[in-house]
Amino acid sequence: MSTSTASHESADGVTIPGGRVAAGAGARRPFDVAAIRRDFPILRRQVEGKPLVYLDSAATSQRPVQVLAELTRFYRDHNANVHRGVHTLSVEATELYEGVREKVRALIGGASAREVIFTRGTTESINLVAHGWARARLAPGDEVVISEIEHHSNIVPWQMLRDERGIALRVIPMRSDGTLDLDVARELIGPRTRLLAITHVSNALGTVVPVRELADLAHEAGALVLVDGAQSVPHMPVDVTELGADFLAFSAHKMLGPTGVGVLWGRMEVLESMQPFMGGGDMILTVSLERSTWNEIPHRFEAGTPNFADVVAFGTAIDYLRALGLDAVRRHELDLVDHGLAVLGDVPGVTVHGPREAERRGGVFSFSLEGVHPHDVGQTLSSEGVAVRAGHHCAQPVMQSLGVAATTRASVYLYSTRPELDALAAGLRMTARFFGDAGP
């Protein structure tokens, strides 16, 4: 690698506007939220003449200047297509791109960087398992087990496969507090189960699912386990071995990285046994007009030009998270969950859905305000500068189970603060007064 690239990826970090991100695994920055917020220029924006209060990180996170700078620097200094080139830029770009596999491996405790496949996001990662693993193996009589609190991206691919292959889909039900009914799970997971596809943290309720317990049941039954880590990997330490996962899917855009990048991690021997999902350049070893042979993993699953620039910037997002420490991120968010439950609980007419105990929740508050439609809540809060989401959150079965059409959802991340949750509560009191006065 050229000198410029070597300094670009120096072992002790990179100096860029907004500070130094230590690249080493053991490095820790103190968890200073005020300092962290300075890395996120968008958080200094005004909305409707008020300071932005961004409480929509479960949909997508904001990005620190370090990630923005890395993206620009890649295009400015190293841009070339990866893998095929012998010229210097292509070699540099390939090394930067491939280096991020190792960062992902270290983040989630995988055995090898070759187990890391880059996709467009969690959705594509789950579809890759459905097409590359399940489709070739599952037949009538086989069962896939999911839960009632899944995101649509972990429901629809399995319904499509069910309809194509004649398999059965079994659903672990949700209890009224947003947790899963593990007694029913024990009955559902059995000899016919081939795959348990389960979320780690619900995006619609914040519920943290006891994945390990369920994974043990699945493995005892001889099934594999796919974990949707879209809402856990960005927010807490996740280790694929501790989790008992055979596959783990997540998205860069929810963890400080660019859009259009996701990860499917899979256990080596499972990936080795899988067929490609898409055909094209890079995923082959040989092509003749009669037949083709497949490349090694992970390239077998990355047909065509990958999203290399965004992957490189994703590497900086991982550095940023690891420099803070995911355990510290989780502690910070647990404090916010405690505070949020307390201040929202004090607002008359607000019902917060999901588990009561903070430690069983991620940083998501899904709530209803009596007598006011969630879209009206969201719009009124927006006029106060508070960004939340209103709708079904791509989890319509959760809404059906709660008996509502939609909820309002506020979600926090490492840059969120207690005063922001106070602003949310104040905005909700104002909303309740406004619609109360306007009512009949």
Angle at 365 between CA 363 and CA 369, to 5 degrees: 170
Looking at the chain, how many residues does it have? 440
Among 62, 123, 207, 307, binds ligand PLP (CB under 6 A): 123
Nearer to ligand PLP (CB atom), residue 91 or residue 226: 226
Distance CA 156, CA 162 (A): 10
- 3-state SS, 244-288, equals CCCEEEEEHHHCCCCCCCEEEEECHHHHHCCCCCCCCCCCEEEEC
Among 61, 62, 127, 153, binds ligand PLP (CB under 6 A): 153
Using CA of residue 80, residue 85, residue 86, residue 92, what is the dihedral sign?
Answer: positive
**Considering only residues 66, 127, 203, 431, which one is a binding residue for ligand PLP as defined by CB under 6 A?**
203
Question: Which residues, numbered 228-287, are part of the site for ligand PLP (CB under 6 A)?
Answer: 228, 230-231, 251
429: left (phi over 0), alpha (psi -120 to 50) or beta: alpha
The pairing of beta strand 224-228 with beta strand 247-251 = parallel
Residue 151 vs 392, nearer CB to ligand PLP: 151
In three-state secondary structure terms, 107 is: helix
Measured from the CB atom, is 229 or 298 closer to ligand PLP? Answer: 229
Q: Specify the stretch interacting with ligand PLP by CB under 6 A; choose among 10-18, 227-235, 265-273, 309-317.
A: 227-235
Cα 204 to Cα 328: distance, rounded to the nearest angstrom:
23
Of 119 and 295, CB closest to ligand PLP: 119
206 counts as binding ligand PLP under rule CB under 6 A: no
Give Cα separations from 277 to 86, 120, 131, 135, 368 (angstroms): 28, 14, 6, 10, 41
**Which part of the chain contacts ligand PLP (CB under 6 A), choosing from 38-46, 92-100, 225-233, 323-331?**
225-233
Residues in region 283-312 near ligand PLP by CB under 6 A: none
Residues classed as catalytic: 394
Whichever of 154 and 431 has its CB closer to ligand PLP, that residue is 154
By the criterion CB under 6 A, which residues form the site for ligand PLP?
121-123, 151, 153, 199, 203, 228, 230-231, 251
